[in-house]
Amino acid sequence: MGRLKRRIHQFAATVLDVPEDVIHDLPRVTMIGNRQLYIESHQGVLHFSPTELLLALTAGRLRIEGSELVIRAILPEEVFIEGTILTIHYDPS
Amino acid sequence: MRATFIAYVRGYLSLTFRGGEVEAFLNEAVREGLRLWDVQLTGPNTGRFKLDLSDFYRLRPILKRTGCRIHVAERHGLPFQRKRILRRKVFLAGALGFLMGLFLLTSLVWKVEVDGTDKLSKPLVLAAAREEGIYPYQWIFRMKKMDELARGLLSRLPDAAWVGVERSGTSIRIRVVETTKPEDKPLASPRHLIANKNALVTKVFAEKGKPVAKPNLYVKKGQVLISGELGEGDHRKWVPATGKVYGLVWYVSTIEVPLTQVHRTYTGETAEKSYLILGKRGFQLTGYGEGNYTTSVTIGTPKMFRFRGFSLPIGWLKDTVRETEEKVYALTNEEAEKLGLKRARDDLLLKAGAGARVASEKVLSRREADGKLVLKVHFEIEEEITSQLALVETP
């Protein structure tokens, strides 16, 4: 994205009061207690084990730690995780 | 995406996998658009997941690329169930038979109702409907369209002004609006009109037939007033004579009027008593010690409990006791005479029938006896004096 384009997008997001994930390609993370987790607009699974899930994002990575993690559903843009979630760690890079 | 109903219909597999790169496999599969869910790791590089049956053959190249090995653990869904169901022939036949039966029973007419008939008889309408093809146990799909049926029924029922046919489920409702016809005139056979009293004819209105009586003619009982015989000789014709003949009839009435009149009036004092009726006995429940009047009128109707049209021997009676008072009026002779004449007049006019009037009245004698006024009055009443006499033609 060019600098101007990004600024226009930023301006539109603030003026129109639109959620940022719609304007920028940011992930939307929805968590229901510590049992269910939806992540929209991820970029793929980097690592998956019953205690850890590492997802690639457009910028950075998302690390989910917990126990008995199960991928309930996975689509090119979305992933739905169930289990006991302990931490969500955002690594910007 | 859980094992929803749609997944069940499409069929899905429970797979276990071993070795290879799990993450790479997941990413590839998702990129290829495979529907996989419930991904679960059971150990290092082993796990299981569920996959749509239709995507199974697209899985192979991905497995090769990522070096995973899979094993089909379970098969779920209709495509697999189908085989098992098809093996149970009798069960299948039963299920099919049930559906067929349901379909057949709902495509039968079970009930035909007729509405709005008053003069037309229901069996007549039902018979007409049967001819049109509306009857119980008829196939609904064999019947004509509702508006055609209504038209057909209308042409079969000449006494109906409009017929509507409507179907709701398995019952047919026929609604009929009847034509209002003028009342049929009673058939009259040839007849004379004769006098039913001795009278002096005053007016003759002949509608049909030959008037014989003329005004100011004295007629005796049984004398012909309007003749039903028209013409003479070969042109003779018999008709039912119709018309009206009025005449003056004399009556002599003897009237007795008591000179003391007793009027009973309510004082307004009332008391209520209620009873429970068991069999033929009544047990008073309320109203003890009330309504002890010297003169009174008691009004009350028992209400028996009913059960499905049977009258039970248990009931309820509510009596209303009203106190009365008797008042005695003394009448003068003139008042008594007026009262007596009025009563006599009303009585005679009622007997003489419609259209009668008092032509004249004359008091013949007045006499007082035993506290009463006895009057003898001569009345001249103008009334209809006709009655019918049927004619039997003699050859």
Helix, strand, coil distribution of chain B in percent, nearest 5: 25, 45, 25
Last residue of a domain, one of B326, B348, B366: B326
What is the Cα–Cα distance from A38 to A29, expressed in whole angstroms? 6
Whether B392 is covered by a domain: the verdict is no
CB contact under 8 A, A74 and B30: yes
Q: Where is the domain boundary, B125, B152, B178?
A: B178
- Residue B43 β-bridge partners: B46
Task: Pull the structure tokens for residue B235.
Answer: 């042109």
Q: What is the CATH number of the domain that holds B118?
A: 3.10.20.310
Residue B259 has pLDDT above 70, yes or no: yes
The verdict on B349 and B376 lying in the same domain is: yes
Residues on chain B touching A80 (C-beta within 8 angstroms): 1
Residue B222 lies in a domain: no
Instruction: State residue B1's pLDDT score.
Output: 46
Q: Give CA torsion, residues A81, A82, A86, A89, to 10 deg.
A: 0
Residue A72 with chain B: CB contacts under 8 Å? 1-2, 37-38
- Give the C-alpha separation, B52 to B59, whole Å: 10
Q: Which structural domain range is residue B310 located in?
A: 264-326
Nearest by Cα to A65 from A55, A51, A81: A51
**pLDDT per residue over B10-65, tens digit each?**
888 999 988 778 888 888 888 888 888 888 888 877 888 988 888 888 888 888 88
**pLDDT over 90 at B99, yes or no:** yes
How far is residue B155's CA from residue B126's CA, in Å, rounded to a whole number? 14
Location of structure tokens 């699974």: A45
Residue found by looking up tokens 């993370």 in the block: A29
pLDDT in tens, B198-223: 999 998 998 888 888 888 989 998 88
DSSP string, A6-69: HHHHHHHHHHHT--HHHHS---EEEEETTTEEEEES---EEEEETTEEEEE-SSSEEEEEEEEE
Same domain, yes or no, for B322 and B337? no
Residues in CB range of A10: below 8 A, 6 or more apart: A23
pLDDT tens track for B179-197 = 887 777 766 678 888 888 8
Instruction: Indicate whether B227 belongs to any domain.
Output: no
CB spacing of A76 vs B37 below 8 angstroms:
no
Structurally, chain B folds into a number of domains equal to: 4
A10's tokens: 């930023």
Q: What was the ipTM of the complex prediction?
A: 0.75
Domain end (from B292, B308, B326): B326
SS3 (DSSP) at B238: strand
Q: Give me the pLDDT at residue B86, please.
A: 80
Distance CA B348, CA B253 (A): 9
In chain B, % of residues over pLDDT 70: 97
Contact A79, A29 (CB under 8 A): no
Is the separation of the CB atoms in B383 and B247 below 8 Å?
Answer: yes
Question: What pLDDT sits at residue B192?
Answer: 85
- Chain A residues in contact with B23 by the CB 8 A cut-off are 44-48
d(C-alpha B127, C-alpha B149), whole Å: 13
**Contact with chain A for residue B21, Cβ under 8 A:** no
Chain B residues close to A37, C-beta within 8 Å: none
Measured CA to CA, the distance from residue B199 to residue B202 in angstroms comes to 9
Q: How many beta-carbon pairs below 8 A join chains A and B?
A: 42
Q: Mark whether B316 and B371 lie in a shared domain.
A: no
In a domain, B345, yes or no: yes
Cα dihedral across residues B249, B255, B261, B266: positive or negative: negative
Contacts of B1 in chain A (CB under 8 A): 72-73, 80
Q: Are residues B43 and B74 in the same domain?
A: yes
- Is B224 within the bounds of a domain? no
B91 pLDDT above the threshold of 80: yes
Q: For residue A74, give the chain B residue with the closest CA.
A: B37
What pLDDT is stored for residue B361 in this prediction? 87
Residue B93, Ramachandran bin (φ over 0: left; ψ between -120 and 50: alpha; else beta)? alpha
B319 dihedral zone (left: phi>0; alpha: psi -120 to 50; beta): beta
**CATH for B18:** 3.30.70.340
Write B340-348 long-range contacts (CB < 8 A, 24+).
B340/B255, B340/B256, B340/B257, B340/B373, B340/B375, B341/B255, B341/B375, B341/B377, B343/B255, B343/B257, B344/B253, B344/B255, B344/B375, B344/B377, B344/B379, B345/B379, B347/B253, B348/B251, B348/B253, B348/B379, B348/B381
Same domain membership, residue B350 and residue B315 = no
Residue A50 to residue B39, Cβ atoms within 8 A:
no
Neighbours of B344 (CB within 10 A): 20
Query: B350 and B322 in one domain?
Result: no
The answer to the question of residue B93 being in a domain is no
Phi/psi for B33 (5° steps) reads 85, 25
Residue B31 to residue A47, Cβ atoms within 8 A: no
Report strand pairing: A36-40 vs A78-91. antiparallel
